[in-house]
Amino acid sequence: MNDTSTSAGQAATPDLVQVVLGSCSVEDADTVLRTLGARLTPEGGHDEPHHDTGVRVDTWTAAFAVPHGAVLSPDVSLAGTVLVDLQGGPVAVGHMCEALASAFDVQIAGSVSGDQEIDMQVTLTNA
């Protein structure tokens, strides 16, 4: 017999990917997060990164729901390389990599898999 309450609860965020950007300029972080927010559904409904220009920030985080086949705007430019950590279910992280590759050159730097999720580190440069 199926337990619909459990499966409904688990189905609420299967495509959610946590995105952590680091080792980049504020402008490049804004570019990546705005590009993602323009085409993907951000957790909490915020579509723009917010930061205090008077405070030094080393990382930026956001979470996005990533549907299969998501395509980002290719009309973006980065000043440098952006290091991105992706965390989520393997399928969702795969979809995020595909979406990122539609706008940037994506190189996988490494990954670690757990029981039901994967942590993947990628670098982004101009496509």
In a domain, 95, yes or no: yes
Q: What is the pLDDT of residues 91-126, one digit of tens each?
A: 999 999 999 999 999 999 999 998 889 999 999 999
The 8-class DSSP code of residue 79 comes to S
In a domain, 46, yes or no: yes
What's the pLDDT band for 30 if we cut at 50, 70, 90? very high
d(CA 111, CA 120): 4
Above 50 in pLDDT, residue 40? yes
Number of domains in the chain: 1
In a domain, 9, yes or no: no
In a domain, 27, yes or no: yes
d(CA 18, CA 84): 10
In a domain, 101, yes or no: yes
In a domain, 5, yes or no: no
% of the chain at pLDDT higher than 90: 67
In a domain, 6, yes or no: no
Label residue 105 left, alpha or beta by phi (over 0 means left) and psi (-120 to 50 means alpha).
beta
In a domain, 64, yes or no: yes
Residue range(s) defining the domain that contains residue 33: 14-126
The residues pairing with 112 across neighbouring beta strands, listed in sequence order, are 119
